[in-house]
Homo-oligomer: A and B are copies of this chain.
Amino acid sequence: MSMSGNVGVIPRERQSAFAGLNDFRQMDVGRVRTFWRTVERIPAGANIAAEPDSRKRQIVVVSGWISETRILPDGRRQIFAFLLPGDVASINASSHVGSRGLVALTNVEVADASALTVGEQGERISASLTDAIRQREERLFDQIVRIGRLTAKERVLNLLLELYDRLDAIGLVKENTFRIPLTQEVFADALGLSVVHINRTLQQLRREGMLTVGRGTVTLHQRHKLASFACYQSETQQAEGDRQPRRIGALSRD
């Protein structure tokens, strides 16, 4: 299964729409031009797979949303992360049965990361990619905490707060509002909840005036309060508190 979509040059006009990307990774305009030339376009809903030849592959998202997903044999689905412009991901050549897969949630443009790390500015970009990878891992931890220890309300808020910050960083937030091309089902699969419960949770959050949702758009009110309520900490901290060391014992009786 090879990558869906076609390769093409993105018209210059559109560049303005992604202006934020420049700031995000400190890539200079010249570099971004090169960027455009190696961009691949992928239609919404398509799978992003590695070329049959290349074993491994790293991509950078230029525009659009991607989800990293795994589907269990019985149909249950889990979304690990959402990839936004500027994010990096590796594709395992093996996109076969059950692996982690990348799915375009919108029309997407991706660039080959390896193609960006060569040349004069390569090192600089390489560094920002390294940083992107680090952030990516950090987000996986956040995701684990969300589904492992937070309640439904907290999960929803926590994820929305993360998306807010990430989108804000690339200039896609205006007046506490951002576009979010996610289905409630997708949201549910990311947060380990059922669609029905996501729906009810969103309603509750709306009723409580914590957020406004509508037409693919989300507005967060009083982000500070929300953050502390949902145990959210914008890309750095977290609260430690070493619990007193316990005896390291056996799992059980017998």
Interface residues of A (CB under 8 A from B): 44-47, 70-78, 80, 94-101, 103, 105-106, 137, 140-141, 143-145, 147-149, 180-185, 187, 191-192, 199, 202, 212-218, 228, 231, 233, 236-243, 245-254
B249 with A183: CB separation less than 8 A: yes
Q: Is the pair A250, B214 in contact by a Cβ cutoff of 8 Å?
A: yes
In the complex, the count of this chain's copies comes to 2
B252 adjacent to A74 (CB under 8 Å): no
Q: Which of B95, B239, B248 contacts A73 (CB 8 A)?
A: B239
- For A75, list chain B residues within 8 Å (CB): 241, 243
Is B254 touching A71 in the complex (CB atoms < 8 A)?
no
List 14 extra interface pairs beyond A72-B239, A80-B141, A215-B250, CB under 8 A. Answer: A44-B245, A45-B248, A70-B238, A78-B149, A97-B238, A97-B240, A98-B233, A99-B237, A140-B144, A148-B192, A149-B192, A182-B251, A183-B251, A212-B254
Assess A145 versus B70: contact at CB under 8 Å? Given A213-B254, A237-B99.
Answer: yes
